Structure 1
């Protein structure tokens, strides 16, 4: 929950000893209590000056920001104040976000595809969410896991405790190993002597907890659900990390199933079995490595769900009533709304990426880079610091191809082609550049 979704208070205090002291009015998020505990949009009235901008309450850290003022009656303009506040809104929200306590980690958003994924997991026990960067794969996995755990709770279960106990997340990377995932040896000191003992990895530890819950359940079909999320699953050496577990995770070889298997681990006293109430959700970024390169054994044991860019998510987030409203407000006649242009331009860029033999659909740019882009300032930041650097990376070492393929030989407002770097542009320059990518009907030029 961000401050922009909260109501805001306005506080006014008149000068107590006019004209020797100021009077003022400030606006701040109501969730923060009072003006002393928040960053504020303010206007201060002095005998010979009116000052406005962002200020801090007395109980929060001081931050520097350029303020503006009127020094004569002829300069006074409400429009100037309003425009100055609009330019500062992103900073105002961001600073106040830092003061607001993070939401409960057990909270979740319910998405329309959850029940479909539920059916896949009930049958196969594991699934991989794959797609371009910024398409909500990890976000979707976490929210689905909390939703599904919530649906399986008994009346005596506490939601927060259940999520903490039954949901784990790891990130694969090139040095992530079998010892991290299943079991390794750790050195410990006991009575002054150095001893080496087996230590369970994240998967074995979770499997043991799930087995205990499964065996204690009154109804095996309603045993508590344990969910392991593996982010960046394709960045690890999957066969090496899973080891013999690659067989155990098959649905028919789990505890209580017709072909139940228990594998002996490298240490003789250990045998591992995977219960049917333990589920795996992987997330993989197709810009890093094609799904075609994923080990065949993994592909056979997992189901896969593709996550493409979803522009409809942006319609609501950026305040539009659908695709036609985006096109209308992005038109020249309606003032070329920068949010609308950003959605249409992102779609146009992705169409060109899909048509590229060197890139393809796996390297599209996800919609999440534009989420929260409710001000021109934030949209400029998203393009300058996230979207364009990603395009620069895709075309690394071949800026000329980026220029021709994505921007039809233009794009000077966004890139300094001579120096081969992203330009330092403002909202007007971004608006002009995005307009060049979109035709009158909101398609690709």
Structure 2
């Protein structure tokens, strides 16, 4: 079946990691392969609208990228040795898939690329940044926002990581030390999913292709390591969170908060799968952060209505999570749970402790939570001001509109 016409951004999200993995596996040059893939994507964006999408778009991209890669390799110092190697390969017809274009399996090139980007020679921050760029397809701007650092800083970090991969001669293949790299891999998938579920910028509240890719990769890692509790916990967390996506926006694309969502629209299959996953791993021992977050998500999803939400249980789970995670977003969510379980004043008292935390002090979510708790406490004018401050700091257009609407509603009362 012919795939629908795709924009360059769509291709980057779906096909680019697979094409990059195929080229790195065959040619063993990460940085140059990425340049070749980018040029292939640009060629597709130019040719496909005129000539039509080929029967096998992934194979087409691999073929074009491979041709461009051989041109790039000729300019390197190892030209003779590489040309001798490349000469032994025969590129197929432009409409056919080369041998590298095999069906996706548990040893998919994308998964190998994922572990390769998490090589121990790289710092944890560089591992995550490089994987978000190469596998997740995020732009440098998006990655910089995820790390809360300037874009120039992130550009340098990614460039250094690429040079380290190249100079270190990292082989393309499933690593023997994959358990040691697993923490970075899971964090990468977590960030990719979050960017898909709640976009940091742009006109849409979410980007389905990103969250779907994160879930696909998490499933692959879970099949590889079925007994790892945190792998199962992360997959459960993604499923239980993504289950709410169909009800998160109205027909006009406006954001609908969880308390006001039509829960009959939630994905029941994802909820059942996520609950089963987290229920199977929690009894095994001391839970990690992903398992605890999945347990919290399960409590939300299993409540038939917002009023039935077991906030005391959620509060207790966040308190356990705080003992294993020094994360300002966990602290913020704990304040919400306290506000819902013990009253808004109790939640507001906890928020004051975050005002001096540079990681979140200027984040729109801190102001949005304060606005919600102030509104619940009956302080409408203070809540309106906080909603307005949150809207100014939000970079997502749907979030800006939602926050401004809340402020305007309070102003009209």
Give the alignment's TM-score, normalised by structure 1.
0.28
> Higher strand share goes to which structure?
1
- Tell which has more relative contact order, 1 or 2 (C-alpha 8 A, sep 6+): 1
Which protein has the larger Cα radius of gyration, Structure 1 or Structure 2? 1
> Higher helix share goes to which structure?
2
